[in-house]
Amino acid sequence: MATFYLLPSRNNLSRRLTSYFQTWFPGLDVAGADLVDLFAAAAERQAETHVIFADDLAADDGPDFTAGLRDGFGAEGDDCIIDVRNGPLPGDGLRMWRAA
């Protein structure tokens, strides 16, 4: 079983990470794009983990884009999809589902 993390666009996540890191390192020129790549690479070191940015998803897939994940990224019925494109996962986990 694989896990697919659906993240905001690279540009959006870059802005968010830069803003967050500047609260810890004021005045430091933090490159958000580098942080995005580091986070994605760290996540994908875990077995069966895939990071997909919003800008890599087809715009015409609409709200039910599970078929696009299967066709474009190899998601299968048992795989876990975690959608954090709109921000961190809420405590109730409502943005998690199986690729079925």
Between the alpha carbon of residue 36 and those of residues 32, 47, 51, 73, the distances in Å are 6, 19, 11, 19
pLDDT of residue 46: 94
Q: How many CA atoms lie within 13 A of 7 on its CB side?
A: 20
Burial 77-96 (b: 16+ CB within 10 A, else e): eebbbebebeeeeeeeeebe
The answer to whether residue 66 scores a pLDDT higher than 80 is no
How do the domains of the chain map onto residue ranges? 3-98
Rounded average pLDDT over 55-61: 72
Rounded average pLDDT over 12-36: 83
The reply to whether the predicted model has a pTM over 0.85 is: no
